Amino acid sequence: MYFYPMGIDPMYLLILVAFGIAMWAQANVQNNFDRFSRVQSGAQVTGLQVARRILDQNGLYDVKIERSRHGLLSDHYDPRTKTVRLSDAIYSGSSLAALAVAAHEVGHAIQHDQGYFMLRFRTALVPVANLGSRMAPIFLVSGFIFSGFEPLIGIGIGLFAAAVLFQVVTLPVEFNASTRAKNELVSMGLIARNEEYGINKVLNAAALTYVASTLVAVLQLLRLIMIFGGRRRQ
- Starting at the earlier edge strand, list the strands of the sheet with 64-67: 64-67, 83-86, 76-78
List, in sequence order, every beta strand (DSSP E) within the chain.
Answer: 64-67, 76-78, 83-86
The pairs formed by 197-201 with CB atoms below 8 angstroms and a separation of 24 or more are: 198/36, 198/39, 198/96, 198/97, 198/100, 199/96, 199/99, 199/100, 199/103, 201/32, 201/35, 201/36
What percentage of the chain's residues is helix, strand, coil (to nearest 5)?
75, 5, 20
Give CA–CA dist 61/180, Å, rounded: 18
**105 has catalytic annotation:** yes
**Which of 105, 174, 184, 195 is flagged as catalytic?**
105
Distances (CA, A) of 167 to 129, 157, 173: 9, 15, 10
CA angle 129, 131, 132 (to 5 degrees): 60
Residues carrying an active site annotation: 105
